[in-house]
């Protein structure tokens, strides 16, 4: 799990929407999430279409999204949510499918994290808190899977956004470390700076590259060639 746990205002519950086609899974997730004093479930969706509708209606902070669902899967639902301009919800993929293409496509579609359904309950609650605070749940194992999936794709890197030219050498260095799945504490150790300094650099990267969170920074880094599979 990430070493850096973001902070959230005390007393403000994290509002969660659960999207899964299995009623028993939804019920179990609801009981787990509602058992945490700082979390609350706003609603449940049995397919991607319902997830899109309820996200727009209820404006949750976090959507727990399954990938495989009828009518509309979780990946398509994320694309619709993003296209609809909904501000705020962070999507945490919760699935039984531990496959490269799902990890990469989920992050590419806008997910802030990826966790398996058989993860310990405390890890899921931790993951919700992490993505709710605008960070990304990118453990090294998940990042390695995404890098591997990207490396297998035949397409060349996309054209770098003009904003990349405005990055300082240190910001590009931090971006490479973020792309390798390292936490702020790990980056601080590698660069011999404070964690606060790393957080400042990451914040500037998010602003300059208009990225929503670290997950988008990772995808951008590999798609534009800033980071290269196998180089970290």
162-223 CATH, one of 1.10.540.10, 3.30.360.10, 3.30.420.40, 1.10.10.10: 1.10.10.10
Check whether 99 has a pLDDT greater than 70: no
* pLDDT the model gives residue 154: 53
Query: Which residue is it, tokens 């299995």?
Result: 22
| Banded pLDDT at 148 (limits 50, 70, 90) | low
Beta bridge partners of 63: 17, 91
Token pair for 99: 């496959």
Which part of the chain is CATH 1.10.10.10? 162-223
d(Cα 135, Cα 8) in Å, to the nearest integer? 12
Q: Report the SS3 class of residue 154.
A: coil
Name the pairing type of β-strands 14-19 and 62-65.
parallel
Q: Are 63 and 90 in contact (CB under 8 A)?
A: yes
Q: pLDDT digits over 116-138, tens only?
A: 888 899 999 999 998 888 776 66
85-92: average pLDDT: 72
Dihedral sign computed on CA atoms, order 85, 116, 104, 226? positive
Residue 116 parent element (H or E): strand 113-116
Burial of residue 134 (CB within 10 Å: 0-12, 13-18, 19+) is middle
Q: pLDDT digits over 178-230, tens only?
A: 888 788 888 999 999 999 999 999 999 988 988 877 878 887 887 787 877 65
> What fold does the segment set 14-137 form as a domain?
Rossmann fold (3.40.50)
Token pair for 153: 């794709």
Which part of the chain is CATH 3.40.50.2300? 14-137
- The backbone region for 157, taken as left when phi is positive above 0, alpha when psi lies in -120 to 50, beta otherwise, is beta
Within 46-116, residue ranges assigned H as helices are 48-58, 74-83, 100-108
Dihedral sign computed on CA atoms, order 218, 223, 227, 231? positive
- Output the average pLDDT for the chain: 81
pTM, entire model = 0.72
């Amino acid at each position: 799990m990430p070493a850096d746990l973001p902070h959230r205002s005390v007393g403000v519950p994290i509002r969660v929407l659960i999207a899964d086609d299995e009623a028993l899974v939804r019920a179990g997730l609801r009981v787990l999430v509602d058992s945490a004093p700082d979390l609350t479930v706003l609603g449940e969706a049995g397919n991607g279409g319902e997830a899109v509708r309820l996200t727009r209606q209820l404006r949750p902070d976090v959507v727990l999204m399954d990938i495989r669902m009828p009518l509309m899967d979780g990946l398509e639902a994320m694309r619709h949510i993003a296209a609809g301009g909904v501000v705020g919800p962070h999507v945490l993929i919760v699935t039984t499918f531990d496959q490269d293409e799902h990890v990469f496509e989920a992050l590419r579609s806008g997910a802030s994290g990826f966790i398996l359904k058989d993860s310990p309950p405390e890890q899921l609650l931790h993951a919700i808190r992490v993505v709710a605070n605008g960070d990304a749940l990118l453990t090294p194992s998940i990042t390695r899977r995404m890098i591997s999936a990207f490396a297998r794709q035949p397409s060349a890197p996309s054209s770098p956004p003009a904003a990349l030219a405005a990055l300082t050498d240190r910001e590009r260095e931090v971006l490479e470390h973020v792309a390798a799945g390292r936490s702020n504490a790990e980056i601080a150790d590698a660069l011999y700076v404070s964690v606060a300094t790393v957080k400042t650099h990451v914040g500037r990267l998010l602003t300059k590259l208009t990225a929503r969170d670290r997950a988008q920074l990772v995808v951008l880094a590999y798609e534009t060639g800033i980071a290269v599979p196998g180089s970290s």
